[in-house]
Amino acid sequence: MKENTFEQLMDLLSKSVSLLEGGELQLEKAMEEYQKGLKIIKILNERLETAKQKLEVVDPNE
């Protein structure tokens, strides 16, 4: 997953959320999908933090 772009990860997260909201998954599959979503969120947050740090270097007043 780490090799995916930010946009691809957002798409994967959106699909996971849709599956979970659909209510069609068995408990075990729902838990797997939930954990997958948490991993994606962690990667997305890391990328956002990295981008924020880069922007602060470019414009320290922001």
Q: Under 8 Å CB-to-CB from 33, ≥6 apart: which residues?
A: 16, 19, 20, 25
- Torsion sign over Cα 2, 33, 49, 55: positive
The model's pTM is 0.83
- How many CA atoms lie within 13 Å of 48's alpha carbon, on the beta-carbon side? 9
pLDDT tens-digit profile of 3-61?
Answer: 999 999 999 999 999 999 999 999 999 999 999 999 999 999 999 999 998 887 776 67
